[in-house]
Amino acid sequence: MKRALVIIVLIVAAIGLLMNLDLVLGMIVNSLIFLLVIAAILYGIYYFFILTEDQRKYKKALRKARRKQRRK
């Protein structure tokens, strides 16, 4: 009797999860997009307002050198 009750509860929970899966996945995607936008904004603030012009040039040259090294 207990085993049947546990199986029924698990089946109802699985059905409920499947019915709300689109809502849950939508919330997860919205959260990820929000986090990516916030991260991009913070990086932009860091790159344009905190780094000096020389530091930006150094980072750009470093990226270019790494790309060049990967091609070889």
**pLDDT tens digits, 39-48:** 999 999 998 8
The secondary structure of residue 72, as a DSSP letter, is: -
pTM of whole model > 0.75? Answer: no
Specify whether the CB–CB gap between 47 and 56 falls below 8 A.
Answer: yes
Domain range summary for the chain, segments of one domain joined by +: 2-71
**pLDDT tens digits, 7-16:** 999 999 999 8
Kindly report the number of other CB atoms within 10 A of residue 51's CB atom: 13
Specify whether the CB–CB gap between 52 and 60 falls below 8 A.
Answer: no
